[in-house]
Amino acid sequence: MESAIPEHLRCPRSQARRAPDDYVPPVPAWVARFDASVSRVAIACFGVQYRGSARAGVASAAIRRLVDACAAAEGPQHHDVAHHVDEAGYETLVLIAYWRDVPAYQRWWAESDLAIWWTSPEREREGVGYFREIFTPRAPHLETLFSSPDRFEGVGMLAASPSDQIYEHGYWGGARDRLPLAQTDGLAPGGVIGRVPTGSAGRIVLRPPQHLAVIRSGQDWSDTEGREREIYLGDVEPVLNEGMTFLRDHGRAIGCFANRYMRHVDGQGLPQRKSFGLSFWRSLAHLEIWAGSHPTHVAIFGSFMRMVKASEGQLRLRLYHEVMVLAEDEQSYEYVNCHPMTGMLRAIG
Ligand code: HEM
C-alpha cells in the first residue's frame, strides 16, 4: 500500500490529514499515476443543447465535427461523448476531451478550423446553444480514485500506470487527503463570478472564481451480470438518480452551481452502460458536505461498501472519480445562445 499522493508532490503538511495515521481502508482502491513530467493537463467540455427533433441534426453534426477534430495530430489522448437532459428540459450532448499538456490543447484549438467555426456569429443563429468549459489543473490540483486498477476512465486515461493500493479512501475526507494541494492549503473559495464583456448579447464569457471544485464521478456496469446487475440497476441506480436530480434542480442552495448526470453514447448516439455525474461546486467543502450527509449519497456509499465486501474481490461494477480544485487561471467558460440555467451561468443567475 502507498499514499495516493505521488512522491514528487508530497510535502510537509500544514493541514491535518482527515484519517488517523493507523487507518486501514476496509476495501481496496487505486489512483491514476501520471508521469512526473505531466505538470498540468487540459480537460475540455464542449456542449450543444437543443430541444426537439428538428434541432437534433444540428446538434449531432456539431458533435461529429468536434469528434472528428479529435483525430488531428494535436488531438486529445482521450475523449468521451455523453448525453443528458438538463433542468430546463433541453437535451445536451457533451464531448469531454483530455490532453496531457496544455500547449497541445492550445495548438489543437488554434490549428484546427474549430476556433473559426466556434467564433462565427452563425453559432448564435442556429437554434441550438453551445458551451465551452475548459479546465487546466496543475498536477497538485487534481486527484483520482478507481475501484479497480485494470481499466481507467476520464483523466485516468492520461496515466502512465495505476498506483499500488492506496491508504486515503473509504472515509469522509478521503478526497481532500488525496489532493496534493490540500497538504498546505485549506482551499477556501474566493473571487466573484461575473461576466466579461464580449460585444455580443448571445455570447457570455465568465470571470472564474478561486478554488471552484469540479467532480466527474462515474460508474460502469458493462461487465456486471445476473444478481450484481440487478442490484445496481434496481437498488443503487435509482438512488443515484435521485441524488443527481436533487443536485441538478436544487443544488444551488447548497453550493452546487450545476450538475449533469450523463450517459455515455457511442458513435451512433446509442447509450452505453456507463454514466457519470459532472458537477461544479463553490468549494471542495460544499461538495464534501453533500457527499457525507445527503441521504442519497450516504446510502449508495454504504451499499457499495457492502457490495465490495460481499463480492470477495469479484465485483464487476466499476466506479471512479476525478476531483479538481481550480485556481482562477485554470478555468474558462463561454456560453453561446444558451439558456440562463446552463452550467456556470447559474452562478450569476
Ligand atoms: C453509484 C454511484 C456512486 C457510488 C456507489 C459512490 C460511492 C462512493 C464511495 C464508496 C465513496 C468513498 C470512496 C473512497 O474513499 O473509498 C465515495 C466518495 C465520494 N463520492 Fe461517491 N459514489 C457514487 C456517485 C457519486 C457521485 C455521482 C458524486 C458526485 C457528483 C459522488 C461524490 C463523491 C465524493 C465527493 C466523494 C468523496 C467524499 C470525501 O472524500 O469526503 N459520488 N462515493
Distance 218 CA to ligand 1 centre (A): 9
Among the options 8, 169, 321, 339, which is catalytic? Answer: 321
What is the best residue among 84, 241, 304, 324 to mutate for testing ligand 1's pocket, by most ligand atoms within 8 Å of CB? 304
Q: How many Å lie between the centroid of ligand 1 and the Cα of residue 200?
A: 40
Q: Which residues pair with 256 in a beta bridge?
A: 281
3-state secondary structure of 172: coil
Q: At what angle do helices 295-311 and 284-293 cross, to 10 degrees?
A: 70
Minimum-distance ligand 1 atom for the alpha carbon of 172: 41
Q: At what angle do helices 295-311 and 237-250 cross, to 10 degrees?
A: 150
Residues with CB under 6 A from ligand 1: 29, 145, 169-170, 172-175, 215, 217, 219, 236, 240, 277, 279, 287-288, 291-292, 297, 300-301, 304-305, 319
pTM of the model: 0.97
- pLDDT of 21 strictly over 80: yes
Q: Which domains does the chain have, with CATH numbers?
A: 7-38+139-184+203-327 (3.30.70.100)
287-304: b or e for each residue (b if 16 or more CB lie within 10 Å)?
bbebbeebebbbbbeebb
Helices within 8-113 (DSSP H only): 53-69, 102-111
Tell me the pLDDT tens digit for each residue of 225-255. Answer: 998 999 999 999 999 999 999 999 999 999 9
> Of all protein residues, whose CA lies closest to atom 9 belonging to ligand 1?
301
Q: Using the structure block, give the residue that is written with the C-alpha cell 489543437.
A: 108
Summarised one tens digit per residue, pLDDT across range 79-116 is: 999 999 999 999 999 999 999 999 999 999 998 889 99
For 89-93, the CB contacts below 8 A with 24+ separation are 89/51, 90/49, 90/50, 90/51, 90/129, 90/339, 91/49, 91/50, 91/51, 91/56, 91/59, 92/47, 92/48, 92/49, 92/50, 92/260, 93/47, 93/48, 93/59, 93/60, 93/62, 93/63, 93/265
Ligand 1 center–CA 291 separation, angstroms: 7
- 182: nearest Cα among 7, 308, 9: 9
Q: What DSSP state is assigned to residue 71?
A: T
pLDDT in tens, 292-341: 999 999 998 888 888 887 777 788 999 999 999 999 999 999 999 999 99
- Is 286 known to be catalytic? no
Residues in Cβ contact with 310 at an 8 Å cutoff, skipping those fewer than 6 apart = none
Place of cell 451561468: 345
